[in-house]
Amino acid sequence: MPTPIQPSSSAEAFATSANGLRIQARSVGQRIHGAGNVLHDVSLDVAPGRLTVIAGSSGAGKTILLQTLAGLRAPTEGTVLHDGTRPGRPGPEFGFVPQEDIIHRELPLRRTLVYAAGLRMPPGTTPESVAAGVDRVLEALGLSSRAATPVRALSGGERKRASIAAELLTRPRVLFLDEPTSGLDPVTGAALLRTLRALAEDGTTVVLTTHTLADLLRGDQVVFLSPDGEVAYAGEPGPLCGAFGVGTVEEVYEAVAQGVRVERAAPPDDAHNADTPSPPVPVRRVGALRQWALLTRRGTALLLHNRLSVAVLAGSPVMIVAMFAVLFRAGAFDRAAPDPGSTAMIMFWIAFGAFFFGLTYGLLQICTELPVLRREWLAGLRIGPYVASKLTTMLPVLAVADVLLLVVLRALDRLPAAGWGTYGSLFVSSVLASAAALALGLLASAAVTEPGQATLMLPLLCFPQVLFSGAFVPVPRMTGAGEAISWAMTNRWAFEALGSGVGLESLWRTGASPLGPPLLDSYGDSFGHPASRGWLILAGFAVLFLAVTWAVLVRKCREGAVRSRAGR
């Protein structure tokens, strides 16, 4: 059941004594690629410690104006000033709550906020201070009784408050919220507005967009946008209806749609010092190593709390081992009576199994949490430690899956009775194949725009890895184009490294089967190189895919969350 916001959501409970940010917009225009001019000549002042509500019909440009006022989008015309200078890089004094959730859903609320605090609060903050900070925001937002509840089990209103709680951890001077009351019932929405008002009364500047009529009358200032992105009204909410000569807020929407504008005195043109971006706030960010350690811990906790992840983690190895047991007869590697065709296929399926584990583990890792990543990037998260944490969270799991695969296949006599050296080589080949596939999965996960697309990528990425691996059509038998493509397939190098490590060439050449030598002719020198050559290539692919993942994420965070500040 949703919890009501407690009376503790008062100015006292915030106890931030924030010194609110002053925002000025002067003749702001915003041109969006594909949408044209979305904002026209917007000039307004947002005083520190005031609650400003931006309203207007759907598509009027409310979100774009909010992002522009926040300094997340540089205006294409005019100027936005924060405390009289152009916005710099957001720091802990800045809070932004987009429409999507910006916290993970899997963990209990308090634990989620503790991780968020670890990434946002200054380095050196003691665990006691983190705990106190988290308890403070939970109390301020009336969420103390929900502290142990997984975020996914919270109601829509509670989840929205949880996102706001994450933003309040650093006691921001300004808080921007995109439609915080959408989807909330009137009582919960009103309570949330009261919470935001308490925050403003304590000094924080609060700016929000809304479609909820009642919200318009609850702010200190209303900015009403016309459908073509002009300011139709900016001022106190009390005189709003009277200014349009109507009786209700609904009628204000109608009047604005018909082109009515309320003239007002233009704010003074004090944008002369706009050329200087505000000096960067001296923020000490949490170090890269600490970010990586924290993200790895959080990633592991999220993984273990996500039923789908656990099902994929446990299910994939079990499924593949079961298929092996059904498909192949035992004893294919017996030197006295080998089955060369099966030995090649066993090596291929081990390579493909390792690839499949890595790819499936990686594919949903990033696309499911992109809004969270973007918001945390704004708060100082570095992409390098983020990508590295994905590797350190997933690679041990993959290594265990690969070991299990090899152990079970040996126990079922689908692999030869060989020494530690052979099995060490098979293990390294499998883990590197999984690591390269994981990196490929992370890259695909970073590149797509939603989880559904990531799922579609699975067959697209798997098919070429099967066809061009060199297992079914040996590389020497491929066309020139096919051979060129096979170079880009990690599965080819894993297959060859595994075959080399298990000694396929010698088994086929000197084993008792007459089928060995002709097969060797077909496969050429596929298994004639040391396994270490394949390891190097697989490691190279992993590094390459991770580097591209990093680049894609940096671009996405910059484009999606922060657009050129300070004239960039």
Phi, psi of 205, deg, nearest 5:
-80, 130
Give the gyration radius of the chain's Cα atoms: 29
Q: Which of 59, 267, 384, 540 binds ligand ATP (CB under 6 A)?
A: 59
Q: In what order do the strands lie in the sheet with 231-235?
A: 94-97, 174-177, 205-209, 51-56, 221-225, 231-235
CB atoms within 10 A of CB 84: 14
Angle, alpha carbons 311-316-317 (nearest 5°):
120
| Residues composing the chain | 568
Q: Which of 20, 49, 56, 87 binds ligand ATP (CB under 6 A)?
A: 56
Site string for ligand ATP, 211-240 (x = CB under 6 A): x-----------------------------
63 touches ligand ATP (CB under 6 A): yes
- Give yes or no for a contact between 481 and 475, defined as CB atoms under 8 angstroms apart: no
# residues near ligand ATP by CB under 6 A: 14
- Cβ closest to ligand ATP, residue 61 vs residue 338: 61
Q: Which of 1, 34, 124, 514 binds ligand ATP (CB under 6 A)?
A: 34
31 touches ligand ATP (CB under 6 A): no
35 touches ligand ATP (CB under 6 A): yes
180 touches ligand ATP (CB under 6 A): no
Segment interacting with ligand ATP, rule: CB under 6 A, options 27-35, 119-127, 154-162, 194-202? 27-35
What is the Cα–Cα distance from 439 to 452, expressed in whole angstroms? Answer: 19
- Cβ closest to ligand ATP, residue 228 vs residue 413: 228
For 140, residues 6+ apart whose C-beta sits below 8 A from its C-beta are 8, 9, 13, 14, 165, 168, 195, 198
- Cβ closest to ligand ATP, residue 34 vs residue 452: 34
- Give yes or no for a contact between 42 and 65, defined as CB atoms under 8 angstroms apart: yes
Q: Which of 64, 294, 398, 546 binds ligand ATP (CB under 6 A)?
A: 64
Segment interacting with ligand ATP, rule: CB under 6 A, options 58-66, 158-166, 376-384, 400-408? 58-66
75 touches ligand ATP (CB under 6 A): no
Segment interacting with ligand ATP, rule: CB under 6 A, options 1-9, 59-67, 415-423, 514-522? 59-67
Q: Which of 58, 126, 258, 479 binds ligand ATP (CB under 6 A)?
A: 58
* Least distance in angstroms from the C-beta of 178 to ligand ATP: 7
Kindly give the pairing relationship between strand 23-32 and strand 36-46.
Answer: antiparallel
Segment interacting with ligand ATP, rule: CB under 6 A, options 54-62, 353-361, 479-487, 520-528? 54-62
CA distances from 130 to 119, 144, 220 (A): 11, 15, 33
What is the Cα–Cα distance from 160 to 180, expressed in whole angstroms? Answer: 7
* Least distance in angstroms from the C-beta of 179 to ligand ATP: 7
Residue the block writes with tokens 């190098």: 493
Q: Which of 18, 60, 507, 537 binds ligand ATP (CB under 6 A)?
A: 60
* Least distance in angstroms from the C-beta of 209 to ligand ATP: 6
* Least distance in angstroms from the C-beta of 65 to ligand ATP: 7
- Give the 3-state secondary structure of residue 46: strand
62 touches ligand ATP (CB under 6 A): yes
- Cβ closest to ligand ATP, residue 32 vs residue 319: 32
Q: Which of 20, 49, 61, 142 binds ligand ATP (CB under 6 A)?
A: 61
* Least distance in angstroms from the C-beta of 63 to ligand ATP: 3
Query: Side chain identity at 506, as an amino acid letter?
Result: S
Phi, psi of 397, deg, nearest 5:
-65, -40
Q: Which of 15, 32, 289, 318 binds ligand ATP (CB under 6 A)?
A: 32
* Least distance in angstroms from the C-beta of 198 to ligand ATP: 25
* Least distance in angstroms from the C-beta of 548 to ligand ATP: 24
For CA atoms 140, 142, 148, 154, give the dihedral sign: negative
- Give yes or no for a contact between 247 and 241, defined as CB atoms under 8 angstroms apart: yes
CA distances from 342 to 331, 382, 460 (A): 10, 47, 26
Burial of 329 (0-12, 13-18, 19+ CB in 10 A): exposed
- Cβ closest to ligand ATP, residue 25 vs residue 439: 25
Q: Which residues bind ligand ATP (CB under 6 A)?
A: 32, 34-35, 38, 56, 58-64, 209, 211
